Amino acid sequence: MHHAKSSSEKPFTFISLPLSSSSSLDDSLTKALADAERSIKSPPKSLLTFHLKRFTFCPTMKQKIKDTGNFSIPDTVALTEAAAYTLTSFIAHTGEAEGGHFVACVKRNDSWFHFDDENVSSLEEPKRAELLSTCSYMLFYTRPVDSSVDSDIDGGVDVGNNRPTVPLHLQAHINKRVNKYRRTQLAKSDEKFREFLVNLFALRINSVEKFQLDGNALVGRKVEVKWTSGFFRGVITKFDSELTKFHVKYEDGAEKAYKLHKKDFRFILD
């Protein structure tokens, strides 16, 4: 009895590779493509991404285990003679499997940099090699975009100067995540800024009580927030006697000014 062979083509954004039975990226990729007679029909136009399966679940221990064994990862990968990719960045996981921390390592002008949240530092070769071999989780390889090669491959728009481009569907996803992050940060920043100004105005209550002034009588009064190199204005809209706090409506640009000069503020009632 003969079984009919079937074939299908699927686009991919990254290739997941197991580590347990391989010692190198080339070996793992070869085994992955050999499974079920898989192959890469059209190499990615500019970005080739690998996901290394460093984490596995142990039924006996009932917990996630991280593979930190040395895994040989080349700086270049050639899927075909015309499709050679260079490692330009990778994401590494440091620490234990159940916790730990993700960091990014990026190549710029032949130098490597280590991104740990907001901290950025140079990444020297011994440390880079160690992170890449034992902790790397996602690998990003790129190649220059050449309009004369692989013109039928869908994956990105050439922006000129042979710079690698991000596939359109990935760019849309990235833009969506970035915009969401920006909105979240702006909301947090605005809330912290308002709280900061309200608390500072609360400090002036002592002066109001000292001169036996009615806080409500100050509603409508203009106020200036000054620092060493400028100022912005606002108007007191409400006095909360229960919380002993002023509510102030500020002109546009107040938040930006606070971020730039938050150590030099002083408040003056008009």
Whole-number pLDDT of residue 105: 93
Whole-number pLDDT of residue 260: 44
Strands, E assignment, the chain: 15-18, 47-53, 55-58, 63-66, 76-78, 84-94, 101-108, 111-116, 119-122, 136-142, 222-227, 230-240, 245-250, 266-269
Whole-number pLDDT of residue 129: 93
d(CA 176, CA 184): 12
Domains of the chain: 15-144+159-165 (3.90.70.10), 190-269 (no CATH)
Residue of 49, 7, 8, 57 whose CA lies nearest to 29: 49
Residue pLDDT, tens place only, 156-173: 434 344 444 555 666 676
Regions of the chain with pLDDT less than 50: 1-3, 147-164, 200-213, 227-229, 256-270
Structure tokens at 153: 């491959």
Q: Which helix (H) or strand (E) holds 192?
A: helix 168-202
Whole-number pLDDT of residue 191: 60
d(CA 223, CA 99): 49
* pTM, 2 dp: 0.49
